[in-house]
Copies of this chain bind each other. A is one copy, B any other.
Amino acid sequence: KINGERLWDSLMEMARIGATEKGGVCRLALTDLDRQARDLFVKWCKEAGCTIRIDKMGNVFARRAGKDNSLAPVMTGSHIDSQPTGGKFDGAYGVLCGLEVIRSLNDMKYETLRPIEAIIWTNEEGSRFAPAMVASGVFAGVFDLDYGLGRADQDGKTMGEELKRIGYYGDDEVGGRPVHAFFEAHIEQGPILEAEKKKIGIVQGAQGQRWFEVVFTGQEAHAGPTPMKVRKDALVGAAQVIAAINQIGHDNQPFACATVGMINSSPNSRNVIPGKVFFTIDLRHPDDKILSKMAAEAKAACEAAVKKNMLEMDFKEIWYSPPVKFDQDCVAAVKKGAEELGFDNLDIISGAGHDACYMNRVAPTAMVFIPCEGGISHNEIENATKEDCRDGCDVLLRAMVERANA
């Protein structure tokens, strides 16, 4: 059994780095706050006797030796970057569960056959640098290193530059080494476990995602003397699309999600017809066919708005993460852990993408979900109970030990 108090204390200490007034966290990828959070994790892992390695994507690997260190490790981990108005648990919980598993094994003086690694994956959120899960993606060979290091934020700063600036551009090549199994513990970030009164989600896989960037260009003109019928209002076009995207989500139930999360309008002046609007589209569905159909509907909505408002359009798909099905043995190990501990559990599909989705391509992978309050995440009020945090980590420990001795 892990130490629930210690896990909670570590979570709360980590949450101070980038703490917001409303009780959340703003710790964008590769900022100074991200560095502080990494430094703290590295310090704790060293104190727990781990060796630390860092790769060229800034992924941090804390290794606890096993009986046979020539064998491929069992890994766990998540991310410590957050949304601009994020919560204390999204990501940090999975990272600190890795640390807690190692600390608990130390307490028990338990030696696994295989080495164990607890990991921080760089820039999982995709908020400062799009897309999401970039660095686990490079580890898994989904993206090449240049692509990963070249991702730029809104100010044009790249991940490569920022990794060097904060001192986390490591020596190790990214990926290309055998991994026996990967597990990730995470809050659900949705309402299902809470609604169903289940403590543990046995994650079967994740829905697919498609991300788009759209720029509409019309013509800036004066909001007063410019007749309605000659206007080329890029924001009116974008608004029609945003309403349509929302409708696409509703039309493709069950399961579909469709979101415009970001919009920048220019020149953004009260009495000027907007001449240029940038916005993003995030489409999700567990069924790849329906996801493709939603993408076609989204594109058609953009084309209709362009035509109706006499605009020009730049429409780019910037990310496609297909639906994921996790490894049956690893999923079974999670299920077994939950059952042995007597926890009510539920098979579930992740609505969010996770580093586990990419790790699943290069290693047998599964995830452990715990409930979060009201199903709310990507929000400063995100919350989870101390007990659920403890219990999810206990399930993780069992699944990892099982695989680490196999």
Contacts and interface: CB of A to CB of B under 8 A. Distances in A.
Contact of A273 (B221, B261, B271): B261
A378 interface: yes
A189 interface: yes
B261 A269 contact: yes
Contacts of A350: 224-225
Interface in A197-235: 207, 209, 211, 219-230, 233, 235
Interface string A335-377: 0000000000000001111000000000000000000000111
A150 interface: no
A229 B251 CA distance: 11
Main SS class of interface, A: loop
A191 interface: yes
Interface in A73-106: 83-85
Contacts of A132: 271
Contacts of A223: 257, 259, 261, 282, 284, 378
A224 B380 CA distance: 17
Interface stretch (A109-117, A241-249, A324-332): A241-249
Contacts of A239: 238-243, 246, 260
A130 B268 CA distance: 13
A233 B220 contact: no
The residue among A207, A224, A240, A246 with the most chain B CB atoms within 10 A of its own CB is: A224
Contact of A375 (B226, B243, B246, B249): B226
A221 B351 CA distance: 12
B127 A269 contact: yes
Contact of A225 (B188, B238, B240, B264): B188
A31 to B, nearest CB: 14
A272 B282 CA distance: 9
A121 to B, nearest CB: 16
Contacts of A191: 225-227, 230
Contact of A243 (B190, B211, B236): B236
A220 B275 contact: no
A70 interface: no
A385 B260 CA distance: 43
Contacts of A256: 228
Nearest to A352: B224
A36 to B, nearest CB: 21
A351 B211 CA distance: 41
A227 B270 contact: no
A242 B274 CA distance: 12
- Of all A-B residue pairs in the complex, the 10 with the closest CB atoms, nearest first, are A225-B351, A190-B225, A239-B242, A223-B259, A224-B351, A224-B352, A239-B239, A220-B379, A222-B378, A272-B378
Interface of A: 83-85, 125-127, 130, 132, 188-192, 207, 209, 211, 219-230, 233, 235-236, 238-243, 246, 249-250, 253, 256-275, 280, 282, 284, 350-353, 375-380
10 contacts: A192-B225, A207-B224, A222-B377, A223-B284, A233-B246, A235-B260, A235-B261, A264-B268, A271-B282, A273-B378
